[in-house]
Amino acid sequence: MYRAPIRPDGTLGPEERIINDLPDGGQHPNRTLAFGPDEMLYISVGSSCNACNETNPEHAALLRSSPDGKSRSIFASGLRNTIGFAWNSKTGELWGMDHGIDYLGNDEQPEELNRIQKGKKYGWPHIWGKDGVNPQSTPPGQISKQQWAATSEPMVLGYTAHAAPMQMLFYTGQQFPAAYRGDAFVTMRGSWNRKPASGYEVVRVRFNAGKPVGFEPFLTGFLVDNGQAHIARPVGLAMTKGGALLVGDDANGVIYRVTYGPGQASASPATAVPSGPLMAQVNQGSGVPLAKDRIGKAATFEFRSPSFSSGQALPPRFSAYHDDASPALSWSPVPGAKSYALIMEDPDAANVKPFVHWVAYNIPATTQSLPEGLPVDPRLLKPEGMLQGVNSRGSVGYFGPKPPVGDRPHHYHFQLLALDTVLDMKAGATRDEVLKAAKGHILGVSETVGTYQQVEAPLK
């Protein structure tokens, strides 16, 4: 990703690369971006495939980045290819249109309108729509599709399958009648694998009291010869200061200007999108003590890592800058323990305090050690039944130290809880959900601490 100043004449000044490690390759190499009402940069990264278990959790996701590109997290996941997304100008809620899975039939799956929230999963690649199941996929870790669905958000509305939603915006102008303000527009580039063809249009998403109530055609006529050919493919979408719509067409390389009736409107006043709903989401779980300090008094037991000495530096292979492998851990058994839970936190992080790097729970009572380099699946087969939760990056499983280059050494607290029960929880829980479920069941807690500093910027 690059940024460049805009000169007074509209040309660009020298560009500066600010991100060089976004996921690359795959079926959907497009990357769309927008600034949110929190002044952070949101980047949509499409899936690398039609339907598969991604090896990079930043694929099929919406990322949230600082404007300088120095830090980012996964805002939401399970989004196959949400090219178009926008914030409701009245409520501040984030909405997006996701491309459905191919090869399920002419009418499956619908293109999804989702209300996108921090930390939520949206079903792909195993679940689609409101209750659709992909018969061509298998979740990792012997998780059933029913279990996957239980941790996923259903779509709010669906549109004709394979219509290919592109850009999205909420209308705030005054050139159109007042009834249009607060509604959204979406360009539909059009299908390549459906008979009859779908899309090739611009649609209006009608909202009532901040909630979507339906789609309706807005700009049509691009399909000809009874749907056997097309004369345009709408893709880009923007609004002028005067309230007209600009629609990009990548079949003809032109931009259409759409107005409502004759005459010109005066410039529409700038509309500030409310930031409150978004800030409430991104600040959740921040500004709290370390997990061990929230628990209170509890017995301790032996807990260490054969990979590093407590209080000393973690080897580079455990950092996300390098191999991002989880370290080996071992502990003495706790009498009466039915399971263990593990939480790794960094209290030295700049924004999310503390930054959660690892959440694991329902570690079997017979387990006294974890090997180095555990998989990052939601459910592990070794140890059998161990579940992993969501870290502050927004991914599942271990996420290694990644402090800003040049920062002083950060401290990484590995905290192990011995519990008198097995937690009745799904995979993918947050730290706070685990601590809430563990309350009243903690037999003991111990910690070991490693440090990490990245002095030089990595190549990538």
Instruction: Tell whether 457 is covered by a domain.
Output: no
Give the model confidence (pLDDT) of 380-427 as tens digits. 999 999 999 999 999 999 999 999 999 999 999 999 999 999 999 999
Structurally, how many domains does the chain consist of?
2
Establish if 90 belongs to a structural domain.
Answer: yes
Answer yes or no: do 170 and 37 share one domain. Answer: yes
User: Is residue 45 situated within a structural domain?
Assistant: yes
Band of residue 94 on the pLDDT scale cut at 50, 70, 90? very high
Q: Domain limits at 148?
A: 2-281
Task: Say what the pLDDT of residue 5 is.
Answer: 96
Tell me which DSSP letter residue 92 carries. Answer: -
**CA-based R_g, the chain, Å:** 24
Contact assessment for residue 272 and residue 417, using Cβ atoms and an 8 Å cutoff: no
Residues 320-365: tens digit of each pLDDT: 999 999 999 999 999 999 999 999 999 999 889 999 999 999 999 9
- Measured distance CA(32)–CA(130) in Å, rounded: 26
| Residues, the chain | 460
pTM of the model: 0.94
Listed residues 227, 258, 281: the one ending a domain: 281
Residue 261: the pLDDT is 82
Check pLDDT > 70 for residue 162.
yes
- Same structural domain for residues 253 and 343? no
Counting residues of the chain whose pLDDT is more than 70, the rounded percentage is 98
pLDDT over 70 at 53, yes or no: yes
C-beta of residue 156 within 8 angstroms of C-beta of residue 102: no
> In terms of pLDDT, which residue wins out, 370 or 21?
370
Q: What is the pLDDT of residue 42?
A: 98
Residues 92 and 24 placed together within one structural domain of the fold? yes
User: Is the confidence at residue 125, as pLDDT, over 90?
Assistant: yes
Same domain as 222, residue 124: yes
Give pLDDT, residue 31.
87
HSE-up of residue 18 (Cα within 13 Å, Cβ side): 15
Determine the average pLDDT of the residues in 9-31.
Answer: 92
Please tell me the distance from the alpha carbon of residue 71 to that of residue 124, in angstroms, as a whole number. 25
The verdict on residue 115 lying in a domain is yes
Q: Which residue has the higher pLDDT, 266 or 368?
A: 368
For the chain, the average pLDDT equals: 96
pLDDT of residue 265: 57
pLDDT, tens only, 57-89: 999 999 999 999 999 999 999 999 999 999 999
What CATH number does residue 235 fall under? 2.120.10.30
Q: Which of 256, 281, 306 is the last residue of a domain?
A: 281
pLDDT above 90: percentage of residues in the chain: 93
Q: Flag whether 460 is in a domain.
A: no
| Among 239, 261, 281, residue at a domain's last position | 281
Beta strands in 189-233 (DSSP E): 201-208, 211-219, 223-224, 229-230
Residues 299 and 220 in one domain: no
In this structure, the answer to whether residues 263 and 403 fall within a common structural domain is: no
Task: State the pLDDT at residue 457.
Answer: 84
Whether residue 326 contacts residue 372, with contact meaning beta carbons closer than 8 Å, is answered with: yes
On whether both 208 and 67 belong to a single domain, the answer is yes
Q: Specify whether 88 is located in the same domain as 203.
A: yes
Structural domain contains residue 459:
no
Q: For residues 194-219, give the mean pLDDT.
A: 97
Same-domain pairing of 109 and 141? yes
Q: Are residues 241 and 296 in the same domain?
A: no
458 inside domain: no
List pLDDT tens digits, range 230-254.
999 999 999 999 999 999 999 999 9
Residues 412, 314 contacting (CB under 8 angstroms): yes
Residues 271-324: tens digit of each pLDDT:
789 999 999 999 999 999 999 999 988 999 999 999 999 999 999 999 999 999
CB neighbour list of residue 136: distance below 8 Å, 6 or more residues apart: 51, 103
- My answer on whether 329 and 297 are in the same domain is yes
Same domain, 256 and 317: no
218 inside domain? yes
Task: Please tell me the predicted confidence (pLDDT) of residue 26.
Answer: 86
CATH code, domain with 347:
3.90.280.10
CA-closest candidate to residue 50, choices 136, 113, 120: 136
